[in-house]
């Protein structure tokens, strides 16, 4: 069987350096080593927590531009909007009908949300949040994905997908492919401007697609200690050093460590960090500026991607309908 990797792309917020280091760059590298790769913009997932139509639309655009600018090649992969493949939602309903409620009760996202309530455990919890893992399962199973990259916080969702697929295959037929997780061994936290995990909820991010001037301004805002030039500096748990080693070569990191030991000033350290990040982002920024001027081209790419994806999805859903008894009267 071909190695078919599927990656769901969250369509909320503005892409930042942490997204690039932790998700975009490794996913694109992984795709280059697979037989087939699928990338989809998870816009239906985004409305679970955000009902602002303007924000949803803007985020989808920004995320699509970011991935394309970073090197996603739509000619060598499937790149589509989840909402442009209606067969996914049809499969989601079918899977809803065979999935035990108890399985959903154990979902981390639901348990975390309900634990915040006191009298009514389901206060403020929507069915979208509750059944989110089933839609995720449909995203994966629709295309017979063999491998799915997941972070440590998403392993449970993939295990649920496997459980749901196994249940379907037991009830009807061995029709759904059981996916395997790809877990990053070197998964790590990318530090933000204030030393905490880089996250838009903390307001400590470095936007990925900012101008060169704004990028430098953000880097200069990184919080450091009060050690003077000439005083040795500790590179452990240091945001400047942490970000630097995510962009520089191994030899350059060793040289940077030597400069820390010799007491490099924070200003000079941030300048070096800016240089190494900016050198990698220059071609990405250039591509982004080019694509931003041609929104119709982006729409055409996504439309073409969904047409390719639907060829597979239509064939799959017809087989599923036949197995569950929903077909033409003969």
Sorting pLDDT into bands at 50, 70 and 90, what band is 220? very high
Do 23 and 198 contact (CB within 8 A), yes or no? no
Is the pLDDT reported for residue 183 higher than 90? no
Q: What is the pLDDT of residue 184?
A: 67
Question: 10 Å Cβ neighbour count for 222?
Answer: 22
Region 232-237: mean pLDDT is: 93
Region 136-161: mean pLDDT is: 92
Do 68 and 17 contact (CB within 8 A), yes or no? no
Domain ranges of the chain: 4-189+294-324, 212-290
Is the pLDDT reported for residue 185 higher than 60? no
Looking at the DSSP assignment, which residues form a beta bridge with residue 200? none
Region 216-224: mean pLDDT is: 97
Confirm whether 4-189+294-324 and 212-290 share one CATH topology. Answer: no
Burial environment of residue 203 by CB neighbours within 10 A (0 to 12, 13 to 18, 19 or more): exposed
**Pick from 34-38, 113-117, 257-261, 285-289: least confident:** 113-117
- The rounded mean pLDDT for the chain is 93
Q: What is the pLDDT of residue 186?
A: 54
Sorting pLDDT into bands at 50, 70 and 90, what band is 1? confident
Q: Which CATH superfamily is domain 4-189+294-324 in?
A: HUPs (3.40.50.620)
The dihedral over CA atoms of 27, 29, 30, 35, expressed in degrees to the nearest 10, equals 120
**Pick from 28-37, 182-191, 314-323: least confident:** 182-191
DSSP state, residue 195: S
Region 70-82: mean pLDDT is: 95
Q: What is the pLDDT of residue 151?
A: 78
Query: Can you tell me the distance from the alpha carbon of 61 to that of 320, in angstroms, rounded to the nearest whole number?
Result: 33
Condensed to tens digits (0 to 9), the pLDDT of residues 24-60 reads: 999 999 888 889 999 999 999 999 989 999 999 899 9
Burial environment of residue 89 by CB neighbours within 10 A (0 to 12, 13 to 18, 19 or more): middle
Distance of CA 221 to the CA centre of its chain: 26
φ, ψ for residue 210 (rounded to 5)?
-65, 165
Q: What is the pLDDT of residue 34?
A: 85
What is the fold of 212-290? Tyrosyl-Transfer RNA Synthetase (1.10.240)
> CA 93 → CA 6, 117, 143, distances in Å?
20, 28, 16
Joined together, the tokens standing for residue 131 give 């059944």
* Percent of the chain clearing pLDDT 70 (strictly above): 98
**Pick from 106-110, 212-216, 217-221: least confident:** 106-110
Question: 10 Å Cβ neighbour count for 14?
Answer: 16
Q: What is the pLDDT of residue 329?
A: 83
Q: What is the pLDDT of residue 130?
A: 94
Joined together, the tokens standing for residue 39 give 């990338």
> CA 13 → CA 60, 61, 66, 184, 232, distances in Å?
9, 10, 12, 24, 38
DSSP string, 278-311: HHHHHHHHHHHHHHHT-HHHHHHHHHHHHHHHHH
Question: 10 Å Cβ neighbour count for 47?
Answer: 16
Which H or E run contains 262? helix 250-262
Q: What is the pLDDT of residue 328?
A: 83
Sheet strands (E) in 99-193: 147-150, 180-183
Is the pLDDT reported for residue 247 higher than 90? yes
Q: What is the pLDDT of residue 121?
A: 85
Condensed to tens digits (0 to 9), the pLDDT of residues 195-207 reads: 999 998 899 999 9
DSSP state, residue 84: G
């Amino acid at each position: 069987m071909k190695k078919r990797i599927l990656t769901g792309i969250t369509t909320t917020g503005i892409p930042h350096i942490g997204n690039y280091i932790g998700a975009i760059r490794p996913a694109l590298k992984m795709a280059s080593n697979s037989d087939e790769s699928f990338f989809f913009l998870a816009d239906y997932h985004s409305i679970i927590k955000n009902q602002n139509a303007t924000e949803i639309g803007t985020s989808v655009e920004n995320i699509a531009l970011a991935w394309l600018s970073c090197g996603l090649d739509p000619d060598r992969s499937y790149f589509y909007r989840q909402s442009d493949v209606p067969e996914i939602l049809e499969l989601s309903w079918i899977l809803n009908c065979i999935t035990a409620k108890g399985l959903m009760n154990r979902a981390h996202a639901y348990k975390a949300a309900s634990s915040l309530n006191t009298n009514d455990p389901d206060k403020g919890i929507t069915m979208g949040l509750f059944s989110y893992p089933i839609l995720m399962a449909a995203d994966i199973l629709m295309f017979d994905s063999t491998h799915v990259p997941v972070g440590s916080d998403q392993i449970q969702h993939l295990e649920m997908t496997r459980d749901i697929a196994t249940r379907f295959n037991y009830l009807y037929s061995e029709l759904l492919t059981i996916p395997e997780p790809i877990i990053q061994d070197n998964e790590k936290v990318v530090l933000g401007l204030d030393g905490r995990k880089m996250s838009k909820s903390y307001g400590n991010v470095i936007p990925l697609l900012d101008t060169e001037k704004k990028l430098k301004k953000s880097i200069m805002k990184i919080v450091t200690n009060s050690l003077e030039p000439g005083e040795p500096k500790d590179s452990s748990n240091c945001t400047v050093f942490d970000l630097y080693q995510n962009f520089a070569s191994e030899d350059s990191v060793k040289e940077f460590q030597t400069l820390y030991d010799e007491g490099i000033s924070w200003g000079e350290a941030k300048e070096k960090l800016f240089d190494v990040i900016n050198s990698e982002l220059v071609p990405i920024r250039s591509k982004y500026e080019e694509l931003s001027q041609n929104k119709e081209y982006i729409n055409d790419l996504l439309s073409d991607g969904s047409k390719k994806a639907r060829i597979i999805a239509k064939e799959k859903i017809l087989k599923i309908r036949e197995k569950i008894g929903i077909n033409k009267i003969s």
